[in-house]
Chains A and B, each alone.
Chain A
Amino acid sequence: GDSVTQMEGPVTLSEEAFLTINCTYTATGYPSLFWYVQYPGEGLQLLLKATKADDKGSNKGFEATYRKETTSFHLEKGSVQVSDSAVYFCALSARGTSYGKLTFGQGTILTVHP
């Protein structure tokens, strides 16, 4: 079935460091891909998305490119801030036999120190 694998966390960085959170997926068909962010005590909110191969999603300085050949959607940011501390989830929305399912990875906790 469809699945999403994220890099193990937690990730701890200093302010202004470069961030990469790896995400790979397994899916039938061509899924849509998403990154969601969850701040403490809140629900999830969309950070960015890409709906077809080679699309780049971007928002608030974060970027991710839909790579069909490597089935990946890695999240990057050039210079993180303390306010970026949160849990980040990679997700896919199936188009094949599991049409309509939205499947999440296990989440990566990011802590940014001043």
Chain B
Amino acid sequence: NAGVTQTPKFQVLKTGQSMTLQCAQDMNHEYMSWYRQDPGMGLRLIHYSVGAGITDQGEVPNGYNVSRSTTEDFPLRLLSAAPSQTSVYFCASRKAVSTEAFFGQGTRLTVV
């Protein structure tokens, strides 16, 4: 079983460049989320989705866009990369509100 697949695993961007972090799940989960993990800050929610066509902002949405055109995919777009976006990004999916979330292996992004 693939579970939650994130690509790429590593990425270096220059300030001002844009890119898309891909996230796909094959478990038919309705709920998907993007987090960033920074030292001492835990996981902070960027955007989340409760189903195809439905997205909402988390606590740190600025500089990021998402869309959810299918149940399987939930890409995260960086519009104009900044050094403050250097972080490890995790995508997660789950079947329902009370069930466990499954995480991808993460994308380590460095913005120079």
- Interface size class, chain A: 20 to 34
Contact A106 B42 (CB under 8 A): yes
In the complex, which of the residues A46, A100, A105 contacts B48, with contact meaning CB atoms closer than 8 Å?
A100
Contact A102 B48 (CB under 8 A): yes
Q: Contact residues of B with A, CB < 8 Å?
A: 31, 33, 35, 40-45, 48, 50, 56, 58-59, 90, 92, 94, 97-98, 100-101, 103-106
A24 within 8 A of B: no
Known: A101-B45, A102-B48, A103-B45. A49 touches B31 (CB 8 A): no
Interface stretch of the complex, out of A14-22, A37-45, A68-76, A77-85 = A37-45
Interface residues of A in 41-57 (CB under 8 A from B): 42-46, 49, 51
- The chain A residue with its CB closest to the CB of B41 is A106
Contact A51 B98 (CB under 8 A): yes
Give the Cβ gap from B3 to chain A, nearest Cβ, in Å: 10
Report Cα–Cα, A8/B40, bound state, in Å.
Answer: 10
In the complex, which of the residues A43, A93, A95, A105 contacts B42, with contact meaning CB atoms closer than 8 Å?
A105
The 8 A CB mask of A91-114 against B (1 = contact, 0 = none) is 001110001111111110000000
Contact A45 B103 (CB under 8 A): yes
Report Cα–Cα, A107/B90, bound state, in Å.
Answer: 15
Give the Cβ gap from B44 to chain A, nearest Cβ, in Å: 8
A25 within 8 A of B: no
